[in-house]
Structure 1
Amino acid sequence: MRTALELFTTRGYEETTVDEIAGAVDVSQRTFFRYFASKEDVAFGVQEMVEAHFLAALRDRPAPEPPFEAMRNAVLCAWDTIGEAIMEVVPVELYLRTFQVIESTPALLAVHLRRAMETDEAIVRLIAEREGLDVDADPRPRVAVAAFGGIMRITGQMWVRGEDRSMEAIRAITVAYLDQLGPALAGDWRRTAGSDADAADAARRT
């Protein structure tokens, strides 16, 4: 996987062939397909690990936790522990470069969006099961996961594009944005903005 990702990020995903990947690690094409169904599977191998780690953390959250609290605690727990697992496979820096390749390669981006929808659906069903809800009759699990999933995608993009690409950085960005979810959905933005402006004006006068 590491060799394939290095080739994808240096030569380009479309330009790299399975034969080149197999040749770089001195194995046959048959051996490659024993581990991976396609190049696409290799490209998303680490991402699949991250997603599975989060879903496992969510399943382990205490039953009394409300949905948003459970998702928030699960993702923070996942970021606290996934770094070591990723580094056993590839350097974190290579994972980040691969993420950039995924976002800049149309074929991979389409798969990435499809996978995100599938992951969101898995989370929806987990949340509905935790809350004892009929996911097809009650819209709340899908609404909650749509908001949560949107934040995860935004913070992931910010992390990849930022200067600090440590696990601590993605955790801090995630905390900051998740903490804004409730106020952003329920708050009066105009009133808050006005209050902030008044406070700033009073500070300047002082």
Structure 2
Amino acid sequence: MSYQPKIGLEIHVELNTWSKMFCSCLNDPDERHPNVNICPICTAQPGSLPVINEEAVRKTIKTGLALNCQIPEYSKFDRKNYFYPDLPKGYQISQEYKPLCLGGFLEINSKKIRIKNIHLEEDTGSLIHPSDADYSLVNFNRAGVPLMELATEPDMDSAKEARKFAEELHLIMHYLDVSDADMEKGQM
């Protein structure tokens, strides 16, 4: 019996917007200067209300159109509940059920790799682990940074094909000026 791989991907792309996903804080997850790009919204203070980043929506729709997706008339955000120290709200604002982009494909070597959906969500903070310490600190600079998540169908048959898909997507992100997509900085 021979098994053949079937590969689908979920790729997060950090959008290069001026501000974060749901507040006006600078979209700069600066790791060298913790907690300088924060406000009551991205640190989940009681009474703070999020306002959607229009630029992030536009960049996601632009990506969807470039990847042959349908753009539904109606889209909504959901709460994905989980506990983690760098997620102050106890939930992440995401688009589980009504994403901005549906369907679509990216052609790789004359083969269409189907795209299930593309949706927006916010990033969490990051943990800092000081050396020789028995505690961790939380940096909220990254909390609320806009992320675009692209999910493919399991249409790829090899790691080589999956890599080619990721490389092609990387080029498209640059061309559309949606993201810097710098892997070393965790932007894709």
Global fold match (TM > 0.5): no
Rg larger for: 1
Richer in strand (by share): 2
- TM-score, with structure 1 as normaliser: 0.28
Greater relative contact order (CA < 8 Å, ≥ 6 in sequence): 2
Richer in helix (by share): 1
- TM-score, with structure 2 as normaliser: 0.29
